[in-house]
Amino acid sequence: MAINEQLRGGNVLPSRILYTMIRVSDLDRSVAFYRDLLGMRELRRETFTEGRFTLVFMGYEEVSPHAWIELTYNWDQDSYELGTGYGHVALEVDDIYAAFERLEQAGVSVVLRPGPMTIAPDETGHREVIAFIEDPDGYKIELIQAAVH
């Protein structure tokens, strides 16, 4: 038995992704973006008056195995610099071209228009159809065409 299997069996290793936290400069604007333009729901809100911050958990489903995005709004912080280590959040869409057109018409910042990747992984040779947009704080969001089964 591999060490990871032994550890996981004893509940020593993590077993799922809960959420990704991003800091936002305008909570209402960010909630509206993820809700109205990306179709997520506000699943939970936690206000920490003493700590002067609010957390809003956005997602598509309330329970595991679905991961959420935590929008963290620090009341006294006006803006943030995006770190070079952060990549992006990836979201699956059934019709990337229609979704992209709707987002573009809504004024969402476009980074990369939809199309097949220029390269493919050696293992499959499949070139995913992707696009990139930015949320109101400049975080990159990758849209990936759902696989046809």
Cβ(56)–Cβ(44) below 8 Å: yes
Catalytic (active site) residue 123: no
Q: Which amino acid is at 36?
A: D
φ and ψ of 98, to 5 deg = -70, -40
Query: Of 104, 128, 134, 142, which residue is the catalytic one?
Result: 142
d(CA 11, CA 3): 12
CB atoms within 10 A of CB 141: 22
In degrees to the nearest 10, what's the CA dihedral of 23, 63, 134, 130? 150
Tokens matching residue 67: 């991961």
d(CA 69, CA 65): 13
Instruction: Please identify every residue annotated as catalytic.
Output: 142
